């Protein structure tokens, strides 16, 4: 069974630039999560989708971050404009209803 796919693996951008990350969850998983993991900290939930609807985006900085999940499958997370403090690993995870969340390898973002 294929796992959660994310791209790109690494990205370096200058502050105030824009960046987008892509996630393809495990087939059939209704729930998709985007987490931000800053160095030395645990993953922090940014946004959670159930199919193509948002169920929790309480910790998403909506002035600069946006996310969508078209057709309830793939998802993109965008940052515009990026700040230095956005440097982190962005993790996508998916789960079946009531199930364990499985993570992708993450995208390491460096903002300079």
Partner 1 sequence: DQQVKQNSPSLSVQEGRISILNCDYTNSMFDYFLWYKKYPAEGPTFLISISSIKDKNEDGRFTVFLNKSAKHLSLHIVPSQPGDSAVYFCAARVTSGTYKYIFGTGTRLKVLA
Residues that bind partner 1 (CB under 8 A): 4, 6, 31, 33, 35, 40-45, 48, 50, 55-56, 91, 93, 95, 97-98, 100-106, 108
The least CB distance from residue 108 to partner 1, in Å, is: 8
Contacts of 43 (CB under 8 A, 6+ apart): 35, 36, 37, 91
CA distance 91 to 104: 6
Minimum Å gap between C-beta 91 and partner 1 is 6
Q: In the complex with partner 1, which residue's Cβ is closer, 22 or 103?
A: 103
C-alpha–C-alpha distance, residues 92 and 14, integer Å: 23
Print burial letters for 79-101: b (CB count within 10 Å at least 16), e (below 16).
Answer: beebeeebbbbbbbbbbeeeeeb
Min separation Cβ 55 and partner 1, Å: 5
| Closer of 33 and 65 to partner 1 (Cβ) | 33
CB of 81 vs partner 1, minimal distance in Å: 26
């Amino acid at each position: 069974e294929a796992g959660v796919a994310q791209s790109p693996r690494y990205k370096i951008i200058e502050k105030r630039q824009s960046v987008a990350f892509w996630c393809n969850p495990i087939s059939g998983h209704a729930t998709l999560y985007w987490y931000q993991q800053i160095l030395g900290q645990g993953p922090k939930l940014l946004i959670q989708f159930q199919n193509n609807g948002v169920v929790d985006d309480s910790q998403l900085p909506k002035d600069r971050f946006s996310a969508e999940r078209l057709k309830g499958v793939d998802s993109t997370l965008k940052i515009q404009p990026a700040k230095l403090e956005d440097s982190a690993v962005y993790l996508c995870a998916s789960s079946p209803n009531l199930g364990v969340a499985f993570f992708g390898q993450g995208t390491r973002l460096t903002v300079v």
